Amino acid sequence: LCSIPRLASRRPATMAHAGASPHWEHMWGSGLGRGQAFDVGGVSQTLAAELARTRHAPRPGLSALVPGCGRAYDALALARHGFDAVVAVDLAPTACEAAKEELQTCGDAAAASKVTVQCADFFELAGQFDFIWDCTFLCALDPSVRERWAAKQASLLAPGGRLLTCVFPICDKQGGPPFAMSVPLVRGLLEPVGLRAARVLDALPPAEWHRPGANASLGGPGTALVEWQRAGDGHGDAGGQDAGCSCVGS
């Protein structure tokens, strides 16, 4: 249930960074369709539910980052939610092409105009963002670069900002990518770099689980959602409304 099917590759990977697997560009280059394999076919159910219950863009001018954006479904959702500048990053050139096509054909020019697709190395990104959505990005990286991932996320998060991690796939498996995740694993990475969990939702209903196309039916790997902020930040969000600070589970 945690495996991602491998498609026959028609082209080699053309970009690489530490911890990245050529597997992803191979799959995109083989003609990955909407809702196929790891492609969800639309916004992640986990993100959609979170944006419905929590106002993450309470004022104009806020920015968001989506590393490992794929077709940029989630980036579009963040733009519609109210973020004025959303950067969607992917290392796979074919994924970036698919993301740009999605923006052109989504039927929402206003939201699409707020999204910038960058074919880039996450570890080389500069600047800071008010909101970062990490969904199936950490699980795609080799375990040898997890500490680098944590340090980079902390450096990219603006003061008062929020990092939202979709902890997926939660299951018993060996190897990857994708690699099995857990809330304690992510805690062990982000707490040492100065981030603290403001909310932990580790008992999400199945309707809010992240479901790639290969696991679109009921069942499959579990999902948790953790919201992070700098340890020294106050309890309110970047724009004033409290995004929630009580921990549910651990």
pLDDT along the chain (250 residues), means of 10: 39 48 62 63 92 97 96 96 97 91 96 97 96 94 95 98 96 87 97 98 93 63 95 58 35
Burial (CB count within 10 angstroms: exposed 0-12, middle 13-18, buried 19+), residue 124: exposed
Cα distance between residue 7 and residue 27, in whole Å: 6
* Residue reference for tokens 């069942």: 219
Where helices occur in the chain by DSSP H, the ranges are 23-29, 45-53, 73-81, 93-105, 109-112, 146-156, 183-190
Q: Would you state the pLDDT for residue 182?
A: 96
User: SS3 string of 86-111?
Assistant: EEEEECCHHHHHHHHHHHHHCCCHHH
Q: Would you state the pLDDT for residue 212?
A: 77
Q: Would you state the pLDDT for residue 178?
A: 87
Q: Would you state the pLDDT for residue 205?
A: 93
Q: Would you state the pLDDT for residue 8?
A: 34
Q: Would you state the pLDDT for residue 235?
A: 52
Q: Would you state the pLDDT for residue 148?
A: 97
> Does residue 1 contact residue 212 with C-beta atoms inside 8 Å?
no
Q: Would you state the pLDDT for residue 24?
A: 61
pTM: 0.84
Q: Would you state the pLDDT for residue 232?
A: 83
Q: Would you state the pLDDT for residue 220?
A: 72
